[in-house]
Amino acid sequence: MPRPHRLWVAPLLVLLLALMVTAVLLFYVTRSIEQRDRAAFEADAVRTTDAIRERLDTTITLLHGTAGLFAAQGEVSREQFRDYVAQLRLRERYPGIQGIGFSARVGPGAPGEVVARARDDDDEQVRVWPMGAREEYHAIVFLEPMDERNQAAIGYDMFTEPTRREAMSRARDNGAAAASGKVILVQEIDESKQAGFLIYLPVYRDGSVPDTLEGRRRELQGFVYAPLRVGDLLTGVRGTGLQQIDFELYDGSEARPHALMQSTREKARSAAAHSSARQLDVAGRRWLLVMSSRPDFESLSHRRLVPWLVAVSLAASVLLAWITLVQARARRAAERASAQRRANELALHASEEQARQRAEQLEELYARQRESDQRKDEFLAVLAHELRNPLAPIRNSLEILQRGPDPGLAQRARDIAQRQLLHMVRLVDDLLDVSRISRGKIALKRERVRVAEVVDAAVETSRTLVEQRRHELLVSPVDGELHLDCDPTRVAQILTNLLNNAAHYTPEGGRIEVGAWADGPAVRMRVKDTGVGLTPEQLRQVFELFVQVDRNAKGGGLGIGLSLAARLAELHGGRIEAASEGLGRGAEFVLVLPRERAAAAGPRTGG
């Protein structure tokens, strides 16, 4: 039966999908509005920038015209200069330009006595101020129109003020117009003062610009210049319509408070929706023009329609979700019946699946039991065979000893009986060791021994079997200073089992290699043969109890040697690594033991 909350899944999905579509549409609509507003703002910004550039270019053009007057006349009288500037009608046509003047270069003189003339034959002298001795004097001799403001600047040596001097020096050395930084004009005689700047154009003798820097400095006659009030100059550059922008004009390339020359932005205004910054090159000097949109501009944006669009879209989304909910309720009864039928089918299927799983588990248990019984039967058969085999040679040896007094024959009989008894003892000892390890009753008798001695003991124990099989035994020299903290008897037992295993499963005339070396904090002892080899499946089972990889091998044993060796290695905190490249390609067993005492691990039961 469907859960009650599932009734709302489809309507919620429809609502989410509708909201996603609404969000995408609103995103694109909003971005389109922003792009449109941005384009309109950039257009106004470009118009404002062009208007400022046009007024500055006009000022420089007027200065070039005034410089042309000096180039044409050679020497200009006060009346000629006044008439020329008057016909320009600066106040009417060019707001912000306080006037056009000429600052003459004057030779050195005694402090307080330096005077300047427009021409050599000019009777009207101009006293240079401020007073003080210096190498070079400049004095404003012409400044038109001559009103109260400009009258205050006559005679002023602008070269004494650092900001003006920098612009004048640049104009003189480059032979081109140069604008000064932000200054307060000497014409500012009222309490309400505006930021100002000056543009200088050098005038050279003979009316031409010398080719060299030395020539330009030597032939300088003076400067035609224009003092400008920034506020008056930029009046009206934003236009008169509703789409207006505010601007902030800075002297330099960074918006620093002390460099602010003009600002139309109200301080209490919030952040503008659009802003833009542009660099202006004003007669060799950088200005930063920062423009931002005004409320009048932002009121024309279609952004105010976005909330209404959001409301309509949300209402449509909710309506669509409600319609989906109504349809879901209409299907609920049919879905309940269908769900009940499916639940019955699922219950039946689950019951069948559980029965199948129980059958598989029982079959697996039966298979394990059969395998266990088979291994037990095979082990008992092999054990009986292994215990019976030594009895026949022992019985024969006893009959020989009873038959005659031949000393040589009796000695051989005793040797045979002793070997067979030792073989039986080893079988019984191995079985007892496996039992003790399984019950945790075996204890290691550790001591610090030389690895070479342990290897030699194992080799000597297995040498007889190796020679009987006519194998080539290669024992690599072992470092005499290599020591191991272990039970030497048990480690020799491990190596003996590995050597015997290699001898049993290697065809006669094979090769067996033995070696030992240090590997960091461990010792590695290797037994490698050229025997029958192992498959990947046999490698996984080789350390299990009663498992023999080749039951047809001569003297194959009970199948407990490798399992016992692996468990003894784990008691020492080590392991045995088995490797083979496949059947017929031999095998390699490496005993890895820690050189120092380590915590014993549990017995190993698998490969």
* Whether the predicted pLDDT of 351 surpasses 90: no
Say how far apart CA 592 and CA 89 lie, in whole Å. 108
DSSP label of 590: E
The pLDDT tens digits of the residues spanning 541-555 come to 888 876 666 545 554
| Residue in the structure block whose two tokens are 């270019």 | 57
Local confidence band at 168 (pLDDT 50, 70, 90 cut-offs): very high
Of 325 and 172, more confident: 172
Q: What is the pLDDT of residues 398-447, one digit of tens each?
A: 766 666 667 777 776 676 666 566 656 666 666 666 666 666 678 888 99
pLDDT at 602 > cutoff 60? no
**For the residues 566-587, what does the mean pLDDT come to?**
92
Share in percent of the chain as helix, strand, coil (round to 5): 50, 20, 30
Judge whether residue 513 has pLDDT over 90.
yes
Rounded CA gap, 70 and 536, in Å? 108
Percentage of residues in the chain having pLDDT higher than 70: 80
Taking the C-alpha atoms of residue 387 and residue 505, their distance in angstroms, rounded to an integer, is 20
Assess whether pLDDT exceeds 90 at residue 363: no
The mean predicted confidence, pLDDT, of the chain is 83
CA angle 491, 497, 499 (to 5 degrees): 105
Q: What is the dihedral of CA 290, 295, 297, 300, to 10 degrees?
A: 150
d(CA 607, CA 95): 102
Q: Please state the rounded mean pLDDT for residues 146-173.
A: 93
DSSP secondary structure letter of residue 205: G
Question: Which of 122, 197, 199 is closest to 168 using CA atoms?
Answer: 199
pLDDT digits (tens, 9 = 90+) for 217-267: 999 999 999 999 998 898 877 655 445 788 999 999 999 999 999 998 887
List of long-range contacts for 584-587, beta carbons under 8 Å, 24+ apart: 584/532, 584/533, 585/533, 586/506, 586/528, 586/529, 586/530, 586/531, 586/533, 587/502, 587/505, 587/528, 587/529, 587/531, 587/533, 587/534
Look at residue 601 in the predicted model and tell me its pLDDT: 44
| Burial grade of 54 (CB within 10 A; 0-12, 13-18, 19 or more) | exposed
Going by pLDDT thresholds of 50, 70 and 90, the confidence category of residue 115 is low
Regarding predicted confidence, which is higher, 53 or 312?
53
Query: 289 - beta bridge partners?
Result: 249, 278
Q: Which of 48-52, 159-163, 168-172 has the weakest average pLDDT?
A: 48-52
User: Shortest CA distance to 156 belongs to which of 259, 233, 88, 227?
Assistant: 227
Q: DSSP assignment of 235-267, as one string?
A: TTTT-SSS--EEEEEEESSS--GGGEEEE-S-T
Contact 70, 224 (CB under 8 A): yes
pLDDT tens track for 126-147? 889 998 888 889 999 999 999 8
What pLDDT is stored for residue 1 in this prediction?
A: 47
Q: What 3-state DSSP class applies to 4?
A: helix
Amino acid occupying residue 122: D
Average pLDDT over residues 281-309: 84
Cα–Cα distance measured from residue 516 to residue 486, given in angstroms and rounded to the nearest whole number? 15
d(CA 150, CA 182): 19
Of 21-35, 155-169, 321-335, 455-469, the range with the lowest mean pLDDT is 321-335
- 94 Cβ partners below 8 Å, 6+ apart? 55, 58, 59, 62, 88
**What pTM was estimated for this model as a whole?**
0.51
